[in-house]
Amino acid sequence: MVLGLVIGVGPLAVDSSLPAMGDMAIGLGIDVGRIQTSLSAFVFGVATGQLAWGTLADRFGRRPTLIAGLSAYIVAAWALGLADTIEPIILLRFIQGAGSAAVFIVSRAVVRDVFDMTTSARMFARLYQIVGLFAVICPVIGGQLTELFGWRAVFFFMAAWATVGLIVVAFTLRESLAEPDHTALQLRQIFASFVELYGDAAFRGYLLVGAGSYVGLFAILAGMPIVVIDYLGESPAVFGYLYSSVMIAYLAAAAVSERIVRRVGIETTAAIGVAIVALAAILTVAANAADYVILETVVVVNATVMIGFAFTMPAVTAGALGNFHHMAGRATALMGFTQQAIGAVTVFMIGLATDGTPRPHTIAMAFAGLIAVGAYVLLVRPLRAKET
């Protein structure tokens, strides 16, 4: 329950800010592409922060790591609400992303500390359901706050929510790490751990399947506001409701995926997710090629990729971490770093290619399908053959 409260700070920082991007650009006197750079900085912060927090979580424990990360997030969010130029905003978004990375790391590590691999997949599915619930609510909140009070109110809301979460964590969360690894901070040990992780065929395969899904996710985060607000001319509030409808589809799929993984296993659940992500890529390319990019098609294709994401991520997370109970913090850190780094590159490239059309979003979706299918066929599927 405690993790459920704080795990929302990540989607809160991203999803509630999406409807405010246009208002931020106007208020700061810059183009929306620069605002997307700040989103990319947040994602890079999440990526690099995970490497540090994972090691610290294995050395000092889950609880103090989470408290430190939330504290950094809160300070950055308050400062973002007061910033007047894009340069400090980019830096503060990086810091906020690094702070939120601690939440991702600790949540995954606690689940891996307590449960076996199959049960972990179900628990990850539940955590992703909570993330999905935040993703449904946050864009609506962000859109309303932006229209009523301006973009700064969105960041003040982030800070207030994280402050409540920090207080709850400080007083209620128990430490789940049975025995700290006193060698975790040694550079030789860190390097050896990462070599061991990347050397594991299951870790590599599931990691890259998840990376494909993350490209799809960040294509939505960076591309959907441009398509809906700039290309189709809708308001931030309308975008908030449309984005929430996409996340409702994700939330429903996450609830189903928990049952599916129990019945058919991790590998088959991942296969279902990959097939849906590939379908989303095909639908996106077809809609763009037919010049039929309207609100209905935007919602359908983005909802489809999020349904695939809901099936893919619990399975690939459990599959990648399955052999690394002894260093769950570092394993989830490296996994998160790789996925978030790919996501950050996706956001950055969409920002560079932004031309007021759906084209950058479409290209990113096509890559999402190619990466997910290629990684599954070439790396994950052969694992079953080796086992038999």
CB atoms inside a 10 Å sphere around CB 356 = 11
Q: Is the pLDDT of residue 151 over 60?
A: yes
DSSP 360: H
Q: Which amino acid, 151?
A: W
Q: CA triplet 229, 244, 82: central angle to 5 degrees?
A: 65
Mean per-residue pLDDT, 302-316 = 89
Contacts of residue 48, defined as CB under 8 A and 6 or more positions apart, other chains included, come to: 98, 101, 337
Query: Tokens at residue 262, please?
Result: 């129990």
Query: What structural domains does the chain harbor?
Result: 2-172+189-387 (1.20.1250.20)
Residues sharing a CB contact under 8 Å with residue 275, sequence separation 6 or more, in sequence order: 308
Q: Which range is least confidently modeled, 23-37, 118-132, 350-364?
A: 118-132
Q: Is the pLDDT of residue 322 over 70?
A: no
Of all residues in the chain, what percent carry a pLDDT higher than 90?
21
CA distance 372 to 378: 10
- What b/e sequence results for 237-248 when a residue is b if at least 16 CB atoms lie within 10 Å of its CB, and e otherwise? bbbbebbbebbb
Q: Does 12 score more than 80 pLDDT?
A: no
Res 357: pLDDT: 85
pLDDT of residue 388: 47
User: What is the model's pLDDT at position 387?
Assistant: 52
Give CA–CA dist 104/11, Å, rounded: 11
pLDDT, one tens digit per residue, over 86-145 is: 889 999 999 999 998 888 888 777 776 767 666 766 777 777 777 777 877 888 888 888
pLDDT at 182: 67
55 neighbors 185 (Cβ within 8 angstroms): yes
Tokens of 38: 């700040």
pLDDT at 54 over 90: no
Query: Helix 328-353 and helix 359-375: axis angle, to 10°?
Result: 150
H/E segment holding residue 175? none
Residue 173 phi/psi, 5° resolution? -75, 130
What is the rounded distance in angstroms from the CA atom of residue 348 to the CA atom of residue 346?
Answer: 5
Residue identified by tokens 């607000």 is: 229
Contacts for 381-385: CB closer than 8 Å, 24+ residues apart: 381/267, 381/271, 383/201, 383/202, 383/205, 383/267, 384/267
With 0-12 / 13-18 / 19 or more C-beta atoms within 10 angstroms meaning exposed / middle / buried, residue 154 is: buried
Place of tokens 């996706």: 346
CB proximity list for 341: less than 8 A, separation 6 or greater: 44, 47
Instruction: Determine the 3-state secondary structure of 289 from DSSP.
Output: helix
Percent helix, strand and coil across the chain, each to the nearest 5: 85, 0, 15
Looking at residues 362-379, what average pLDDT do you find?
90
**pLDDT category of residue 305 using cuts at 50, 70 and 90:** very high
